[in-house]
Structure 1
Amino acid sequence: MPDESPSPQRILLVTGLSGAGKSTALQVLEDLGWEALDNFPIRMLGSLVDSGDNTLPVAIGFDSRTRGFVPAEIIALCKQLEARDDVELTTLFIDCGSTELERRYNETRRLHPMARGRPVLDGIKAERELLEPLRRWADIVVDTTTYATNQLQQVVRERFADDTERHMTITISSFGFARGMPPLADLLFDMRFLDNPHWVPGLRELTGLDVPVAEHIAADPAFTPAFDRIIDLLREVMPRYAAQGRSYLNIAFGCTGGRHRSVYSAERAAEVLREDGFSPTVLHRNLGSRPADRLERR
């Protein structure tokens, strides 16, 4: 018989030096679907595990400011939890060079929690000594000395995102310039250089979803080379957008009225991206608009 025992509760303890990036890591984890708790009283960790709710993985942030923060006691508690079959415990330590931390505090003019009226660097050194046992104990240590914020975000995503959560939500839309620009487009392609089916007898009342219009646009000598370049560009930049932490990407194709050239181009782009393994949503903003000669000037 298959094993029907419940999955262990996934718990990620996130700690590290103040200013190194703990809050950023927790925000990314929350975006990835983790339940993120910052400055959680670590002595209550056992009660949290015993609550029995393991629906979501839990990321718990704590540092020297957390009530009851005693590294030796925290490590002892972690050892107890690691011995349990119903818990999967991982510790992430966010580190950073002292000089860089000093620069960050001076730049933001925030007070270091352990400086207590002394220079920032004194507080950093004191906190580093306090946290050293946890750094040695941690399963994963990430040094953010040379990281920009988006680089730390990327590291956290790469380590803790499920495969199904790594992909951006991609929307491909069509629209008509004559009826207004889309407000949220990240990448916009103007297809008005193509021959306009609106002025072709028998095609005006049809749309880019209809075969005769599709054949007319595809037969334009300018379509294939331009469209192929657009697809090459998308294949080049989409992984880079994902690596920068983009959760949503909006790609828009425009023509004059939003009923022919842009519709066909959006559909073709979605078809190619599906073949590449993406799952784009396609929206046609002006597909239901009435054909109007006064709008179709190009």
Structure 2
Amino acid sequence: MDRDDTLQTKDQRLVVLVTGPSGAGRSTAINVLEDLDYEVIDNIPLSIIPKLLDASSSGRPLVLGLDVRNRDFSVSGLIELVDSIGSNEQFEATVLYLDCTDEVLSRRYSETRRRHPLAPAETAQAGIAREQDLLVPIRARADILIDTSVMSPHELRDEIERWFSIGKHAPMAVSVHSFSYKRGMPRGLDMVFDVRFLKNPYWEVSLRDLNGQDEAVQSHVMTDERYDAFFNKVLELTLLLLPAYLEEGKRHLSIAFGCTGGQHRSVALVENLSKALAKHDWQVSIRHRELERRQIGVPQNVSRTKA
């Protein structure tokens, strides 16, 4: 069975929207996806994409390259596009965001002597800062975030292939999110667990300024008498569903834990579940929405394959 035949058995056509700051590796990722037999369209005006999807009859997965160079690019327009594709039962939308630190982006522009698209008459640093600020809402909506700061083009190719190889034995992309209920639930989630019933480290003064990535916070959460039973059932359920969804043709599963502030309990659960899934050889991407909002401009390397 070839790739196209495998894809034809799916109810939805995969649409991958590739974006991120200029110089972070978007073009490399798009080239890799084209080599993987995806249909690729780069720098198409956002306003044309809905018509393109309506007219397209190909069963191959589709890649759309989107960045600030698109003729009618806007943050609100891109978010509306993601929502529109996601609400269409014919498509499965995945946002791939290629990220990179300002320092590395600046060095890459210096080495290539290219002008930044948002600062043609200014320094590259000015354009980088402007673009990073502009893309904050889109970065928060990413399904898969890859930090390329310390990656060579070859390493980025390997990472893209791990996430997006198509065919019978293609891996499933699993993302695990933490969030604050005060800010509402992230969009596009498949499974959501409210962990506000667990002991809250916020009320421990020594833990208040830490987060769920710290061992002290994780240990505190795990002392709750309900933690073990809850966590084991969530892990058991997830391990049961993942092979079933993969067999059904689903390519991406989003799991989320929410708590009051999105800093302690939900983050601890994400860290622990991700490690457990990685031990079972599932490729996992971690997203801590509230922590990322606090630390924006300091990208995390969120991709994991094994603990």
Please classify the TM superposition score into its range, dividing by the shorter chain length.
0.5 to 0.7
Q: How does 1:102-181 map to 2 (within 5 A)?
A: 102-163=106-167
Q: Which residue of 2 aligns with 1:69?
A: 73
Q: Which amino acid aligns with 1:85?
A: E
Q: How does 1:218-237 map to 2 (within 5 A)?
A: none
For structure 1, the 5+ residue unaligned runs are 167-298
Q: Which amino acid aligns with 1:18?
A: S
User: Offset of 1:165 from its aligned partner?
Assistant: 8.1
Q: Residue 29 and residue 6 in structure 1: after superposition, are their counterparts in 2 closer, same or farther (change >3 A)? A: closer
User: Offset of 1:77 from its aligned partner?
Assistant: 2.3
Q: Which amino acid aligns with 2:93?
A: L
Q: Which residue of 1 aligns with 2:92?
A: 88
User: Offset of 1:132 from its aligned partner?
Assistant: 1.1
Is contact 1:39–1:63 with CA below 8 Å preserved after alignment?
A: yes
User: Offset of 1:79 from its aligned partner?
Assistant: 1.0
Q: Distance in 2 between the 1:9 and 1:40 partners?
A: 19
Q: Which residue of 1 aligns with 2:33?
A: 29
Q: Please tell me whether Structure 1 or Structure 2 has the larger radius of gyration of its CA atoms.
A: 1
Q: Which residue of 1 aligns with 2:58?
A: 54
Q: Which residue of 1 aligns with 2:21?
A: 17
Q: Which amino acid aligns with 1:41?
A: P
Is contact 1:32–1:165 with CA below 8 Å preserved after alignment?
A: no
Aligned length: 163
Deviations 1:189-227 (A, max 9, x none): xxxxxxxxxxxxxxxxxxxxxxxxxxxxxxxxxxxxxxx
Q: Residue 6 and residue 92 in structure 1: after superposition, are their counterparts in 2 closer, same or farther (change >3 A)? A: closer
Percent sequence identity over matched residues?
Answer: 37
Q: Distance in 1 between the 2:34 and 2:102 partners?
A: 28
Q: Distance in 2 between the 1:159 and 1:6 partners?
A: 18
Q: Residue 136 and residue 149 in structure 1: after superposition, are their counterparts in 2 closer, same or farther (change >3 A)? A: same
Q: Distance in 2 between the 1:119 and 1:145 partners?
A: 20
- TM-score scaled to structure 2, two decimals? 0.51
* 1:39 corresponds to 2:43: yes
Is contact 1:9–1:49 with CA below 8 Å preserved after alignment?
A: no
Q: Distance in 1 between the 2:49 and 2:105 partners?
A: 29
SS at match of 2:135: helix
Deviations 1:51-93 (A, max 9, x none): 1413211101010111110111211222122112111111001
